[in-house]
Chain A
Amino acid sequence: GQNIDQPTEMTATEGAIVQINCTYQTSGFNGLFWYQQHAGEAPTFLSYNVLDGLEEKGRFSSFLSRSKGYSYLLLKELQMKDSASYLCAVRDPLGSGGYNKLIFGAGTRLAVHP
């Protein structure tokens, strides 16, 4: 079956570092995405990992271990505007019709406080 697990909620302090974990079990794997979604808004793309290792992009970094079915999103120098939901999504190439399909986790709601 398809299963993507993330913590439901996290809190952190402005200026700190937070790590949001994601574990997955899918029938196939062709990359992992992280999206940010502010309340009432559309998800926006943050990062993409297809090979093992760390991808860094400014204050955000994402790590992938395919053998462990594990990824994390690292947010540094937290700002109040980082308060949002963070969605982990796996691209499964074995979707219906053989096309890549994004399977989303339920998201982690991050609250940043002063």
Chain B
Amino acid sequence: EAGVAQSPRYKIIEKRQSVAFWCNPISGHATLYWYQQILGQGPKLLIQFQNNGVVDDSQLPKDRFSAERLKGVDSTLKIQPAKLEDSAVYLCASSLDREYEQYFGPGTRLTVT
């Protein structure tokens, strides 16, 4: 079974620039999550989708972050404009449904200079 795919793996941008991350969950998984993991900390949930609907975006900085999950499969997370404090690993995870174990992708390491 293929795992969660993410791209790019690494990205370096200057502050105030824009960036987008892509995630392809495990086939058939209804629930998709985006996490932010700052160095030395645990992952923090940014947004959770159930199929193509948002069920929790309470910790998403909506003035600069946006995410979508068209057709309930792939998802993109965008930051516009980026700040220095956005430097982190962005992890995508998926689960069969919201009650089940989450499987994580390899993450995208973002450096904002």
The complex places the Cα of A104 from the Cα of B55 at a distance, in Å, of 19
Give the contact stretch, choosing among A10-18, A66-74, A75-83, A91-99.
A91-99
The complex places the Cα of A4 from the Cα of B42 at a distance, in Å, of 10
B37-79 toward A: CB 8 Å interface, digit per residue (1/0)?
0001111110010100001111000000000000000000000
6 A–B contacts, CB within 8 A, in A order = A41-B106, A99-B48, A102-B45, A104-B44, A107-B41, A107-B42
Given contacts A42-B107, A43-B91, A87-B42, contact A102 B102 (CB under 8 A): yes
- The main secondary structure of chain B at its interface with chain A is loop
B25 within 8 A of A: no
A42-B107, A89-B42, A95-B58 known; 14 other A-B pairs, CB under 8 Å? A33-B101, A35-B104, A42-B91, A44-B104, A48-B101, A96-B56, A96-B57, A96-B58, A99-B50, A100-B99, A104-B43, A105-B42, A106-B40, A106-B41
Please tell me if the beta carbons of B45 and A101 are within 8 angstroms of each other in the complex: yes
B63 to chain A, nearest CB (A): 18
A35 to chain B, nearest CB (A): 8
Please tell me if the beta carbons of B56 and A99 are within 8 angstroms of each other in the complex: yes
The complex places the Cα of A44 from the Cα of B4 at a distance, in Å, of 12
Q: A interface, how many residues as a size bin?
A: 20 to 34
Please tell me if the beta carbons of B101 and A45 are within 8 angstroms of each other in the complex: yes
Please tell me if the beta carbons of B104 and A42 are within 8 angstroms of each other in the complex: yes
B48 nearest in chain A by CB position: A99
Please tell me if the beta carbons of B48 and A101 are within 8 angstroms of each other in the complex: yes
The complex places the Cα of A105 from the Cα of B58 at a distance, in Å, of 19
Residue in B43, B56, B106, B107 whose CB lies within 8 Å of A97:
B56
B76-113 toward A: CB 8 Å interface, digit per residue (1/0)?
00000000000000010000001101111111010000
Instruction: Give the residues in chain B near A45, CB-CB below 8 Å.
Output: 101-103
A24 to chain B, nearest CB (A): 12
The complex places the Cα of A106 from the Cα of B43 at a distance, in Å, of 8
A41 nearest in chain B by CB position: B106
